[in-house]
Amino acid sequence: MPLEIELLKWYSLNKRDLPWRKNNDPYRVWVSEIILQQTRITQGKKYFNDFIDKFPTIYDLANSDEDKVLKSWQGLGYYNRAINLHKTSKIIVNDLGGKFPTTYDQLIKLKGIGDYTASAISSICFDKYNPVVDGNVLRFISRIYGVKIPIDSAQGKKKIKELANKLIQKTKTPGDFNQALMEFGALSCTPFPDCQLCIFNSKCLAFKKNKVDSIPVKTQKKKIRKRYFNYLVFKGNNGKTFINQRKEKDIWYKLYQFPLIEKDVLDDDILLSSDFSEYLKNNKLKISNTKHEIIRYKHVLSHQHLFIAFYLINLNTVVKDGYDISNLNDFTFPVPISNFISKYLI
Ligand code: SF4
């Protein structure tokens, strides 16, 4: 039986019952595809259901505040995804009369929609023949065909896309085929697969040549950047503290945080440094008593390791122009900060 037919048959029997598969509504498929980038299915399901509860239609999303959208994303990371979802929903509602574009070329012009998402939406919702290539597809196809070109190179991705394209063209259901490819990679052709049980082992070049451990080939090693965040958590005797919104195009863009002093190296106690005296001077703050507690966290992101120190500074004076500590949950903070707030402040 040809591979594409066997794969579709396998999919019809083994596909997971996931909330976004209830129908092919492009809004739901789009939201799910954006959530599932960089997110595991179990966590993704919860966020998807909550997101659809809060914003059941594209109109609800377009008409809501950005802060509310970010709040619903809290904990998922890669917050630009939420900002772009919101921006694009406004374009679809205001400029396209609420009608989702149906082709790859129209979809890819929208903010936050790249090759993968445009292929997924156009094939799943509008039966267009555009192959999707995510990490699962890269792994499965490169093993089946014994591709030795690194999959993290442009050439490798192009090769896998060509192979997937040849297969999808032979099917009658491009949307199902794409989902079947991804599902097989996710459930069977995993990083450490059980090839003896695999229905494709007689066709799979990597298996036949005993190369499953070395395919897919990757060249680049992830470069990890270490960053040292020192947060100043002032607690005024009026129950207020300072927070600000992150404005730089960096991690946690538009989320809230405490006043930050970032350094390239670990500091034993930032309050003894000239950076802290400068901070006080710049903000016209006078603090006589800097008795404080330091709470340290390590937070791991895909390309960055964050070493975070929270300096909990109790003041004998009022914090003017600050925010009520008891209301901090109204703001969207990155996960380590919101964990710190629940454990030490509220
Ligand atoms: S035989 Fe192993 S490596 Fe090949 S497709 Fe099946 S699970 Fe993947």
Predicted confidence at residue 284, as pLDDT, reads 85
The third-level CATH classification (topology) of the domain covering 3-208 is Endonuclease III; domain 1 (1.10.340)
| Neighbour tally for 73: CB within 10 Å | 24
Predicted confidence at residue 291, as pLDDT, reads 81
Q: What is the CATH number of domain 225-345?
A: 3.90.79.10
Predicted confidence at residue 239, as pLDDT, reads 94
Nearest ligand 1 atom to the CA of 215 is 3
Q: Does residue 256 have a pLDDT over 80?
A: yes
Chain mean pLDDT for the chain: 94
CATH 3.90.79.10 region(s) of the chain? 225-345
What pLDDT, in 10s, does the model give residues 313-335? 988 888 888 999 999 999 999 99
Mean pLDDT of 135-159: 96
Asked if the peptide bond before residue 191 counts as cis, ω within 30 degrees of 0, the response is no
Predicted confidence at residue 288, as pLDDT, reads 73
Cα–ligand 1 centroid distance for 44 (angstroms): 26
Mean pLDDT of 232-254: 94
Helix 174-187 with 135-144: angle, nearest 10 deg:
80
CA 30/CA 35 separation, integer angstroms: 9
Task: Say if strands 225-235 and 304-314 run parallel, antiparallel, or are unpaired.
Answer: parallel
For the chain, the distance separating the N- and C-terminal CA atoms, rounded to the nearest angstrom, is: 61
What pLDDT, in 10s, does the model give residues 169-206? 999 999 999 999 999 999 999 999 999 999 999 999 99
Pocket residue to mutate for ligand 1, from 7, 190, 202, 207, most atoms within 8 A of Cβ: 207
Nearest CA to ligand 1 atom 2: 195
Give residue for tokens 């066709």. 203
What pLDDT, in 10s, does the model give residues 70-117? 999 999 989 999 999 999 999 999 999 999 999 999 999 999 999 999
- Residues lining ligand 1, Cβ inside 6 A: 140, 143-144, 188-189, 193, 195, 198, 200-201, 204, 206-207, 212
CATH 1.10.340.30 region(s) of the chain? 3-208
Predicted confidence at residue 221, as pLDDT, reads 74
Q: Which amino acid is at 56?
A: P
Q: Does residue 286 have a pLDDT over 90?
A: no
Token representation of residue 278: 């400068």
Catalytic positions = 33
Predicted confidence at residue 320, as pLDDT, reads 87
- What is the pTM (predicted TM-score) of this model? 0.83
Pocket residue to mutate for ligand 1, from 137, 143, 187, most atoms within 8 A of Cβ: 143
Nearest CA to ligand 1 atom 6: 198
CA 36/CA 19 separation, integer angstroms: 12
Q: With pLDDT > 90 as the criterion, what percentage of the chain qualifies?
A: 86
Q: Does residue 145 have a pLDDT over 90?
A: yes
Predicted confidence at residue 222, as pLDDT, reads 76
